[in-house]
Amino acid sequence: MGEELCPSAPCEPGAILLGVVRRDRRVGYVSSPVRIDEDFVARVEAEGDVAKRFRFASPCFESHCVHWHDGRCEVSDAVAAHPEPDRGADEVLPHCSIRPHCRWHRQSGSAACRSCPLVITDPEQE
C-alpha cells in the first residue's frame, strides 16, 4: 500500500475492509488491512445495505473524483471541520489500519481521524 487511500470507498473487489458500523452508528476499525474479493462482495450485497454496515478504502482518484477540488479532497476538509464532540485534541486517535496512507489523514491530520469513526457512507436511517 504505497498510494494514498480514500477511506470512504465503495464495496468492490480489491477494496480494503476498513471497518464495521456498530450499533452505536460508529465505525469499529479492523485491526489489519483486509482486501476483499468477489465472494465477500456477493455475500454482503446479498444481505443488503452494505454502506450502512461497512466502510471500505481504495486508492484515491484525486482529480477523477467528484469530491476533489483545488487539489484537495472536500470530504476530508468537511470531516476535519466537524470534530467528534467527545474527543479532545490530546486524546489518542482510534486505531486505523490505513492511517499511514490515508488521504484524509495526510490532508487534514488528526482532526479528520477524530471524526472518521462517525462517517457512514450511507447515513440514511433504516
In tens, the pLDDT along 86-123 reads 555 567 888 899 999 999 999 999 999 989 999 987 65
Tell me the pLDDT band of 125, cut-offs 50, 70 and 90: very low
- Cα separation, 95 vs 29, in Å, equals 7
Say yes or no to pLDDT of 39 above 80: yes
The tally of CA atoms less than 13 A away on the side-chain side of residue 16 is 24
How many C-beta atoms surround the C-beta of residue 74 within 10 A? 13
In this prediction the pTM is 0.87
